[in-house]
Chains A and B, each alone.
Chain A
Amino acid sequence: DTGVSQNPRHKITKRGQNVTFRCDPISEHNRLYWYRQTLGQGPEFLTYFQNEAQLEKSRLLSDRFSAERPKGSFSTLEIQRTEQGDSAMYLCASSWDGQETQYFGPGTRLLVL
């Protein structure tokens, strides 16, 4: 297993379009996290899954954002009606119950024009 993977790595879109990102966690990890990182800032938490259940959502996750993890494996993060303020790096991380270290993917960099 090569770690957490994310696709696409880069996405450029026009304001108002919908975008979807995918995260494949480390195979035996049941916990999955999405974070958002803007330039010069640390990552900010968006949402957390344990298996297929979405257990926590940040207030940063507006109505235009939705995340799924249908089979408890990969996860998707969709942003509808993108805005310029959505431009950021979207990071996915995974871990296993009782394991405190989170393993991060390479991120998807979104630019909304």
Chain B
Amino acid sequence: KQEVTQIPAALSVPEGENLVLNCSFTDSAIYNLQWFRQDPGKGLTSLLLIQSSQREQTSGRLNASLDKSSGRSTLYIAASQPGDSATYLCAEPQTGANNLFFGTGTRLTVIP
């Protein structure tokens, strides 16, 4: 059974702290993984997509890594800001299909 797990479900950090969000997946044949941001009551914004042939992708203060062998991806946020407060979701392609299979997300609060 395909599973994507994000722990913790919620995280609070003081402004300026560096932090890591975790995503675990069971599909060893994964060919890419995406990280999204979702603000309350809003749609999803794509942050980073990592191909299975890559180990890292960077965009500004965000860095995402992918380790197929351990079934884990991390999203690193440097120098966190209150504007980073949101829910962060990871997703992989559903096995044998075209749609995405999502984790339940980590709700991040950055305290000023």
Closest 10 CB pairs of A and B: A42-B102, A45-B99, A104-B44, A104-B43, A106-B43, A107-B43, A42-B104, A43-B102, A101-B46, A105-B43
Asked if A2 is at the interface of the complex by the 8 Å CB criterion, the answer is: no
Closest to B49 in A: A101
CA distance A110 to B102 in the complex (A): 21
Interface of B is mostly: strand
Asked if A79 is at the interface of the complex by the 8 Å CB criterion, the answer is: no
Number of A-B pairs, beta carbon distance below 8 Å: 64
CA distance A100 to B51 in the complex (A): 10
Closest to A42 in B: B102
Asked if B46 and A56 sit within 8 Å, CB to CB, the answer is no
Q: CB < 8 Å: which of B42, B44, B93 contacts A43?
A: B44
A contacts with B, residue count (CB < 8 A): 28
Asked if B102 and A101 sit within 8 Å, CB to CB, the answer is no
B binding-site residues for A, Cβ under 8 Å:
4, 9, 32, 34, 36, 41-46, 49, 89, 91, 93-94, 97-105
CA distance A93 to B49 in the complex (A): 16
CA distance A93 to B94 in the complex (A): 15
Which residues in window 5-42 of A have CB below 8 A to B? 6, 31, 33, 35, 40-42
**Besides A43-B44, A48-B97, 5 other A-B contacts (C-beta < 8 A):** A33-B98, A42-B104, A44-B102, A102-B34, A104-B45
Q: Which residues of A contact B89 (CB under 8 A)?
A: 42-43
Q: CB < 8 Å: which of B34, B97, B103 contacts A101?
A: B34
CA distance A41 to B6 in the complex (A): 11
Asked if A91 is at the interface of the complex by the 8 Å CB criterion, the answer is: yes
User: Smallest Cβ distance from A52 to chain B, in angstroms?
Assistant: 16
CA distance A89 to B98 in the complex (A): 21
Q: Which residues of B contact A101 (CB under 8 A)?
A: 34, 46, 49
Asked if B99 and A33 sit within 8 Å, CB to CB, the answer is yes
Q: Which residues of A contact B36 (CB under 8 A)?
A: 104
Asked if A109 is at the interface of the complex by the 8 Å CB criterion, the answer is: yes
Closest to A102 in B: B100
Closest to A3 in B: B43
